Amino acid sequence: MAEGDPQKSDGDSTVLIPLNAAEGENLPVALVETLSPLHIVVLGYYPVPSQAAPEQVQSDHENEATAAIEDAVSQFADRGAEVESVVVFTHNKDETIDHIAAEYDVDAVLTPSDYTEELTRVLVPVRGDENLDNIISFIIDLLRQSNIAATLYNVAESDGEASRGELLLRGARDRLAENGIDPNRVEWQVDRGESPGDAIVTTAQEYDVLIVGESEPSLRERIFGRIAGHVVDRVDQSVLVVRDT
């Protein structure tokens, strides 16, 4: 377990991986191998019953909680990853993730899934200019360190929106190319539909991982409110939420 101030390497994105330290969770090998070149922060959150004091639960279960996330930490360390870990005993998992994401200045938060047996194609829904710079920066770091192919994706409700969506995606693809990403590894796709969430969920079935950007004032609301309700909880794939920092 890392101690002291959070550290972050220049030039590499940082990914926060929240895991339930009361249960212990192993991560899919394909996901670990793909993310290992990045800076990893493993958060072991230990749920505390509302009537219990976190300090008391921590004194009783700290060693157990630390051991529960050791396997995940070792998966990255064994591959030479720069990995830190922290264990938090909490009444509110979502607030803890929000706090640790800010404290460690992470670029993306992972919702892992056992479904991720391989990782060769990622879907990147893009709604507009909001958070686009951070999304592109994260994709650059991810694709530079892997052989992954990405599809930039937009859902439009009208012909006018479809035209704007195409311009947005083509521009994003050009920016990736300007930063050394082979254009042949990046496709773009605009679909028509009245429910972007439904369209994303349907299209995501063809991909290994979903990368989405947050867009609301609170990370907790972005990841675990609207986005979780409409996308994250409805897909089998792992999801990376790129923070709007």
Tell me the per-residue pLDDT of 82-119, one tens digit each, with 9 for 90 and over. Answer: 999 999 999 999 899 999 999 999 999 998 887 777 88
Q: pLDDT band at residue 8, thresholds of 50, 70 and 90?
A: very low
The predicted model scores a pTM of: 0.88
Question: Torsions phi, psi of 157, nearest 5?
Answer: -100, -10
Predicted local confidence at residue 129, as pLDDT? 73
For the ranges 10-19, 83-92, 175-184, the lowest mean pLDDT is seen at 10-19
Closest CA to 35 of 131, 106, 130: 106
Q: Which tokens in the block code for residue 237? A: 């794939």
Is the domain spanning 14-106 CATH 3.40.50.970? The answer is no
Residue 205 has pLDDT above 70, yes or no: yes
Which fold does the domain 121-242 belong to in CATH? Rossmann fold (3.40.50)
CATH 3.40.50.620 residue ranges for the chain = 14-106, 121-242
Cα–Cα distances in angstroms (integers) from residue 192 to residues 156, 157, 215, in the given order: 5, 6, 21
